[in-house]
């Protein structure tokens, strides 16, 4: 990642770390209005539950959660998977600090700072890589697709959800005029067809769905 992009992402998530959870979980009326108007009511909590439901409650393998953010959606599930090994990685120290508050003290969970474009893990290290709301923030999306696939074991699962361009004019407007200039999202953004092609080149089984401007994917290596 370039220095300027590093700083933009670090600052953006430093400034938003205290409101991030409330907006995504629609805890107040403003957050609910924002989600309804700009995201067509797409419920991030419901999508997160769907993504997490792909990991069984008695799962015993290794999981990489990148970017883990504050762990707002994942903390309860990760804490409950006591017989698995979970690594939570994020670029922003501020977001990680919030995740530490939720996840410290659980020996099966490790938190670390890092860049999805240069993952500090050997090839074929994980049974599952989960990436929620990350790809629209990653500056080098192709590197992120390559790296998340590289660290997965054969038959490993790639589970992801993120914003895609071209599905909702209102969401595209918001991303272009606010979220990208603020550094919360980082262009270029992909369309569903572009993502379809990218994952088909890397995974043997692919399932993609869209909910307004959010795409979710369940893929097997």
Ligand X SMILES: C[S@@+](CC[C@H](N)C(=O)[O-])C[C@H]1O[C@@H](n2cnc3c(N)ncnc32)[C@H](O)[C@@H]1O
Shortest Cβ 204–ligand X spacing (Å): 25
Q: Which residues bind ligand X (CB under 6 A)?
A: 1, 9, 13, 24, 66-69, 72-73, 90-92, 95, 115-117, 132-134, 137-138
Q: Which is nearer to ligand X, 93 or 207 (CB)?
A: 93
Cα–Cα dist 183/68, whole Å: 17
Q: What are phi and psi of 105, to 5 degrees?
A: 95, 0
**Least distance (Å) from ligand X to the CB of residue 138?**
5
Among all residues, whose Cβ is closest to ligand X?
69
- Coil, strand or helix at 95: helix
Nearer to ligand X, 109 or 116 (CB): 116
CB-based contact 87:62 (threshold 8 Å):
yes
Q: Is 194 within 8 Å of 188 (Cβ atoms)? A: no
Tell me the backbone φ, ψ of residue 19, rounded to 5 degrees: -105, -10
Q: How close are the terminal C-alpha atoms of the chain, in Å?
A: 26
Please, which residue, 88 or 200, has the CB nearer to ligand X?
Answer: 88
Which CB sits closer to ligand X, 110 or 155?
A: 110
State the minimum distance, in angstroms, from the CB of residue 92 to ligand X. Answer: 3
Q: How far is the CB of 7 from ligand X (least distance, A)?
A: 12
């Amino acid at each position: 990642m370039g220095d300027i992009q590093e700083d933009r992402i670090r600052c953006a998530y430093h400034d938003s770390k205290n409101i991030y959870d409330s907006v995504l979980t629609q805890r107040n009326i403003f957050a609910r209005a924002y989600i309804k108007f700009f995201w067509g009511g797409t419920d991030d909590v419901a999508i997160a539950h769907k993504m997490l439901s792909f990991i069984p409650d008695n799962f015993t393998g290794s999981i990489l959660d990148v970017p883990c953010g504050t762990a707002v959606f994942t903390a309860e599930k990760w804490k409950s998977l006591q017989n698995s090994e979970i690594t939570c990685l994020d670029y922003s120290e501020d977001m990680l600090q919030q995740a530490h508050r939720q996840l410290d003290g659980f020996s099966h969970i490790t938190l670390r700072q890092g860049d999805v474009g240069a993952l500090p893990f050997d090839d074929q290290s994980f049974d599952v890589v989960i990436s929620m709301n990350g790809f629209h923030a990653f500056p080098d999306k192709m590197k992120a697709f390559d790296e998340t696939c590289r660290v997965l074991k054969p038959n490993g699962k790639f589970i992801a959800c993120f914003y895609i361009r071209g599905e909702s004019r209102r969401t595209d407007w918001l991303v272009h005029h606010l979220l990208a200039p603020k550094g919360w999202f980082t262009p270029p953004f992909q369309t569903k067809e572009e993502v379809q092609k990218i994952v088909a080149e890397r995974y043997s089984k692919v399932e993609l769905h869209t909910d307004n401007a959010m795409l979710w994917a369940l893929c097997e290596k």
